[in-house]
Structure 1
Amino acid sequence: MSDPAAGRTERPRPRKGPYRRGRPKRRTRWTKVVVVARAFLIAAGLVTAYYLLPLDGYSARGTAVLLLSGLLAVVLVFVWELRTIIRSPHPRLKAVEALAATLVLFLVLFASAYYLLDRSAPGSFTEPLSRTDALYFTLTTFSTVGFGDIAARSETGRVMTMLQMAGGLVLVGFAARVLASAVQAGLRHRGPVGQETGADAGDAGDAGGAEDSEAEPETET
């Protein structure tokens, strides 16, 4: 008597090829490249605008108003970046981009303020400042190196320098901690590790449904 199970052949499920296993890794690698490139372009764009924009015709009071308005803009950009980090599918990468954009905007803002102050009130620094000199002084102050070859001489210049020092401490300490908290919130919003949500989950579901439809259901004889 023949065994009916012997004549029944199971159709093997199609195995996922290497391109399916490597697709998430390639997508993550490509996302990293895009984020790094975008952060570099933002930084390059801000520095280019610093060198190209006409920074003349401001008084010392107008320079102070411009600096305060710019600091408000930095805060608004930072808050907006926090919201995008929480909603982003890649919160860690988005945090790197946000920190780079906020930091460069902060430095370019103070470099512009120093340059305008030196133009509106000559003698505010130990030597006349070009745009490169102003950016150099900003970087040495932010990094707490302070070579001493350029120093603020006027009271307004020293107030601006102290404001940059305080803002740099806040940016490095408090802002970095807030970004880390936003990253954790973004990871919780995205779901557990290994669980796909949103568009990725939809794509995975569609792919899984297509594979299941290819396999024929087994019928017992």
Structure 2
Amino acid sequence: MSGNLDGHRRQLLFACGRSLGAVALLVAAYYLLPMESAFTSTTVLVLVAGIAAVAALLAWQIQQIARSPWPGLKAMEGMAITVPLFVLMYASACFLMEHSAPGSFSEPLTRTDALYFAMTVFSTVGFGDITARSEPARLLTTGQLAVNLLLLGVAARLLANAVQRGRLRRDRSVDPHEGDGTPPAP
């Protein structure tokens, strides 16, 4: 029992470390990658492709969760990577929009301001200190709100189902009579 608990703690530490490392890399990339281009139809296509990539990543993670001996930890890891990636994509779009069409938001946006705005929209807190003023900015924000609902509702449910399937698979693979002298069922 103690060995299993130690193994679980070790897996928890590894999962937390991988999650924190991935988030640190994503945030570093957001701040370090050049974003000097204008917000154009290509930007919209890249954003849509990014959303599709997040959906594909989520689908892959769901498969990994269902196969993992630690499905709950794998689901935590999946959300810890998916949500920041999603928010950073929208922060990038807001930043590019404000720099190509100043006045799209209620104040000029730095990368940090754009990240703050995207995070307040994602969390639905909406402090109101930064608001979308132009129609394209409002459409972008509306799009984020719609995908937020999908990500939080549908993705969370899919992840929960994957965890449940993974735990069932793991529990079925463990012989209930192991170690008690009873022969395994045929």
Same fold (TM over 0.5): yes
Match of 1:87, as an amino acid? R
Q: Per-residue CA shift, 1:145-182, capped at 9, x if unaligned?
A: 11111111111111110011111111111111110101
What residue number does 1:110 align with? 90
Q: Per-residue CA shift, 1:26-67, capped at 9, x if unaligned?
A: 111111111111111111111111000001123332221221
Match of 1:47, as an amino acid? V
| Contact in 2 for aligned 1:63/1:117 (Cα 8 Å) | no
| Contact in 1 for aligned 2:39/2:93 (Cα 8 Å) | no
Cα distance in 2 between the residues matched to 1:172 and 1:68: 18
How far did residue 78 of structure 1 move? 0.5
Q: Indicate which of 119, 133, 136 corresponds to 1:139.
A: 119
What residue number does 1:26 align with? 6
What residue number does 1:43 align with? 23
What residue number does 1:6 align with? none
Cα distance in 1 between the residues matched to 2:46 and 2:136: 14
| TM-score normalised according to structure 2 size | 0.90
Cα distance in 1 between the residues matched to 2:94 and 2:148: 16
Match of 2:168, as an amino acid? R
What residue number does 2:182 align with? none
Is the counterpart of residue 66 in structure 1 residue 46 in structure 2? yes
Q: Indicate which of 128, 131, 139 corresponds to 1:148.
A: 128
Match of 2:70, as an amino acid? H
Q: How many residues align?
A: 177
Is the counterpart of residue 94 in structure 1 residue 69 in structure 2? no
| Contact in 1 for aligned 2:26/2:85 (Cα 8 Å) | yes
What residue number does 1:13 align with? none
Larger Rg: 1
Cα distance in 2 between the residues matched to 1:81 and 1:41: 17
- Residue 191 of structure 1 aligns to a residue in which SS? helix
Correspondence list, 1:71-220, <5 A: 71-192=51-172, 195=174
Cα RMSD after superposing both structures: 1.7
Q: Indicate which of 26, 31, 37 corresponds to 1:57.
A: 37
Match of 1:190, as an amino acid? R
| TM-score normalised according to structure 1 size | 0.76
Match of 1:98, as an amino acid? G
